[in-house]
Chain A
Amino acid sequence: MPSVCFYFQVHQPYRIKKFSFFDIGNDSSYFSEEGENNLNNRFVMEKVARKSYIPTNKILLDLLKKHPEFRFTFSFSGVVLEQMERYSPESLETFRDLVDTGRVEILGETYYHSLAFLYSKEEFRKQVLMHKKKIEELFSFKPRIFRCTELAYSNEIAKEAEKMGFKGILGEGVDSVLGWRSPNFLYKAKGSKVNLFLKNYRLSDDIAFRFSQREWKSYPLTAEKFASWISKINGSGDIVNLFMDYETFGEHQWEETGIFDFLRALPREVLRRRDNSFSMLSECEKKFPVRDEIDFPYTTSWADMERDLSAWIGNDMQRDALSKLYELENDVIATEDSNIIDCWRRFQTSDQVYYMSTKGMGDGTVHGYFSPYNTPYDAFISFINALNDFKLKLKAINKNNYAKRY
């Protein structure tokens, strides 16, 4: 009887171009890399649209037409939507077609896909509201459920989401927090009234990470096999939360791996088995009871074995970059200059510090860090030099404004 809840994260950052120390004071564009490389945001957007967004959207639209029971959930960062508007209108159009069916839900998140929650609650709220506005504009949809960047979750984040009017929130099904409990039920956050949806990371990662791994004992993964695993939950769960990056389809797992065929066949295989269904997340609140309240006293995420924030704030460079960035908040807001504020916020996108992660490097283990930079050190150097240039610009503007005012 489990209901499958797919949630796909759609996001692309504004990658900072190669920015030298010697460019400080001489160059004021940070996100404008050119040429056929992965720092060129247009190039990446067009590539991902071609390989992933457009073909996957087509498959999903066909599936929605074919299976009236099929439904799922998206979350879009504001910055990916902007880039689609600019570089791939076709992607945006096809996403709209999906949402227009009424069987696709959209989640709330921060516009800039940031970790602002950790540094400034006020900034965090502004970005959530900006995002809400953008979703209403583009999709005429009001998000009811919230997901924090990188599936970051804690009791405190849930409280904040509740204050902003959300009815539910997403988190990682962290074993150490769940203990004997299964992620396959609806829960409630501790200290607030919001419902809590926890990711079934085993089944999610079977698709997102293990799908094309030949050394995996279940390789190759067929829709039939996967559907049989879902059916096994029958009786021991109400919902199966399959949360993953949308780029899994066609970008992380290339078309050649058979990922599209898998997706095409999956709804049929799931629905063929007795009592299975699909749900958008907010439907679950009506369909299923809340089983328990779960306490997340510290912040968890969907990354790595640790399921914590160490991939973003784990080393000195990352913490240095973020603290230097957020200490500019008052000065940035004081400019009332929308370009300056927008630029500062683009630096906040979590990918910027993720690229600086040194976790697992050099210990011989395989890890899945996607980065357009050669090394985390290169990522830090471009970030911090660009930020220092930004600081000069900021100082000049505020000095000028001060002079005008007095």
Chain B
Amino acid sequence: MRKKILMFGWEFPPFNSGGLGTACFGLTKALAKQKMEIMLVLPKKLSDNLSADFLKFIFPEDSHIVKEYNFNSLLTPYMGEESYSSSVFGFGEDFGGIYKNNIFGEVFRYADFGKFIAKKEEFDIIHAHDWLSFGAGINAKRISGKPFIAHVHATEFDRGGGVGINKTVYQIEKRGMEEADRVIAVSNFTKNIIVTHYGISADKVEVVHNGIEFVEEEGVERNMHKLKEAGKKIVLFVGRLTLQKGPDYFIRSAKKVCERTDDVYFIISGSGDMEYSLIREVARLGISDRVFFTGFLRGDALRKVYKISDLFVMPSVSEPFGITPLESLVNGTPVLISNQSGVSEVLSHALKVDFWDIDEMANKIISAIKYDSLGNCLKGCGKEEVKNITWDLAAKKCINLYNSA
């Protein structure tokens, strides 16, 4: 039995900017519950005060060892978003912004830290999440000779949103998967990309779908009462405002819906490099009075916005998994998701659509809000289904993999 895991992550709630931190939190918590000992290495320094709370917060009732190493770094998983598209068009390592000429330096520094930690600690297996930590995983394997598992939550092909990829990132991803003893993909959708675009043998790749912790939270105050009382419906988008997440398709569908009915408002929650162009597009389409931008929301504010909404839409162009629809269902709001997502493999009580088919997206949005019986079925059945999509299941699969690697 392999019990001690040296894990390389990159962000952790509440210091996360996306789904990866949420996934890391859910998985480590479930692994600890199943008696695994996890040393989680994070590249980003958290405040000392919070980090004590934070450890206690993750595994309050657990006596197993969780150590956390931080070293000061500027890494962030969704780095360079503001100028991502420029990097895609061949500016090489110039990611612009505060990461300019720095990001790959940080990655190599993190990789070096992998050597240091591998010499210092004892462990049975190495588990690294996504490309920023793969270098550290490879180094830790070289030093210790322990098996290395590369966990792929997203690939460069997803982040590019179909426009292009960064070659250096691609190379780091590819090498990480090649050097790994086993690769975990968060969906068949992602496994397919790994096999097709990275040339990794299908036998080496195991699919472990993400889960969600089902916590019923009643009594979160509903706002926007006036709209709701007037019989208006709210359709929600939550995600980074980047090509990958398809907010532009959401807006074009919204336009079609607005042409047909006055009863719907749209909320776009998130930030990203497309924010201003989306605001301009909404104005150009003449629906500024029907579409609200809230900026990036987390915690209670995010839960509130899930709860007041009548339909959640995830129109992603390429979504390795997609935890937000599950969060929405936990909060009792039915979902419409793109077929180009990993979560569509595990969620049957959802409306589904190809991201490019804005006519069909509009049809499903308007049908879901016009026909109560449809919304009720999606909501009721979806909430039940989500209870079975657990991190415990994901952790079990990981443990089996640790012992067979």
Contacts and interface: CB of A to CB of B under 8 A. Distances in A.
Interface of A: 20-22, 315-317, 319-321, 358, 361-364, 374-377, 380-381, 384-385
A21 B377 contact: no
B366 A374 contact: no
26 contacts: A20-B360, A20-B363, A21-B366, A22-B256, A22-B362, A22-B366, A316-B372, A316-B380, A317-B371, A317-B377, A320-B371, A361-B348, A361-B381, A361-B385, A362-B348, A363-B388, A364-B388, A375-B351, A376-B377, A377-B350, A377-B351, A377-B378, A380-B374, A381-B367, A384-B367, A384-B371
Contact of B260 (A22, A358, A362, A364): A22
The prevalent SS among residues of B at the interface is helix
B376 interface: yes
A377 B260 contact: no
A361 B371 contact: no
A22 B363 contact: yes
B68 interface: no
A362 B389 CA distance: 10
Interface secondary structure of A, over-half rule: helix
A21 B371 CA distance: 11
Contacts, number: 72
Size class of the contact patch on chain B: 20 to 34
B62 interface: no
Closest 5 A/B residue pairs (Cβ) = A320-B373, A316-B373, A362-B385, A20-B363, A362-B348
Interface of B: 256, 260, 347-352, 359-360, 362-364, 366-367, 370-374, 376-378, 380-381, 384-385, 388
A331 B73 CA distance: 72
A315 B349 CA distance: 13
Given A21-B260, A358-B381, A385-B367, A317 B352 contact: no
Given A317-B377, A320-B371, 6 more contacts: A21-B367, A22-B366, A316-B380, A361-B349, A362-B381, A380-B377
A376 B364 CA distance: 13
Nearest to B334: A377
B352 A375 contact: yes
Nearest to B347: A362
Contacts of B373: 315-317, 319-321, 380
Nearest to A374: B352
Nearest to B379: A316
A384 B373 CA distance: 11
B359 A22 contact: yes
B363 A362 contact: no
A175 B256 CA distance: 53
Nearest to A320: B373
B256 A358 contact: no
Nearest to A319: B373
Contacts of B359: 20, 22
A106 B8 CA distance: 71
A20 B360 CA distance: 7
A381 B374 contact: yes
A316 B379 CA distance: 11
A381 B368 CA distance: 8
A116 to B, nearest CB: 21
Contacts of A320: 371-373
Contacts of B370: 21
Contacts of A380: 371, 373-374, 377
Contacts of A319: 373
Contacts of A385: 363, 367
A154 B4 CA distance: 63
A362 to B, nearest CB: 4
B55 to A, nearest CB: 35
Nearest to A377: B351
Contacts of B374: 317, 377, 380-381, 384
B362 A381 contact: no
B377 A358 contact: yes
Contacts of A20: 359-360, 363
Contacts of B362: 21-22
Given A20-B363, A384-B371, A316 B377 contact: yes
Contacts of B351: 375, 377
Contacts of A364: 388
A316 B351 CA distance: 16
B361 to A, nearest CB: 11
A125 to B, nearest CB: 29
A315 B363 contact: no
Contacts of B381: 315, 358, 361-362
Contacts of A375: 348, 351-352
A201 B216 CA distance: 42
B360 A315 contact: no
B386 to A, nearest CB: 9
Contacts of A362: 347-349, 381, 384-385, 388
A182 B380 CA distance: 39
A385 B366 CA distance: 11
Contacts of B384: 362
A358 B363 CA distance: 21
A307 B381 CA distance: 22
A265 to B, nearest CB: 40
A375 B388 CA distance: 19
B329 to A, nearest CB: 11
A239 to B, nearest CB: 41
A405 B366 CA distance: 38
Contacts of B377: 315-317, 358, 376-377, 380
Contacts of A363: 388
Contacts of B260: 21-22
Contacts of A374: 352
Contact of A358 (B349, B360, B364, B366): B349
A360 to B, nearest CB: 10
Contacts of B366: 21-22
A320 B350 CA distance: 19
Contacts of A361: 348-349, 381, 385
A339 to B, nearest CB: 26
Contacts of A321: 373
A374 B364 CA distance: 13
A21 B363 contact: yes
B111 to A, nearest CB: 41
A381 B364 contact: yes
B352 to A, nearest CB: 7
A270 B384 CA distance: 48
A363 B347 CA distance: 10
A320 B373 CA distance: 7
Contacts of A316: 372-373, 376-377, 380
A387 to B, nearest CB: 11
A374 B344 CA distance: 12
A319 B371 CA distance: 12
Nearest to A316: B373
Nearest to B259: A22
A22 B366 CA distance: 9
Nearest to A380: B374
A29 B163 CA distance: 40
A91 to B, nearest CB: 35
B373 to A, nearest CB: 4
A184 to B, nearest CB: 39
Contacts of B367: 21, 381, 384-385
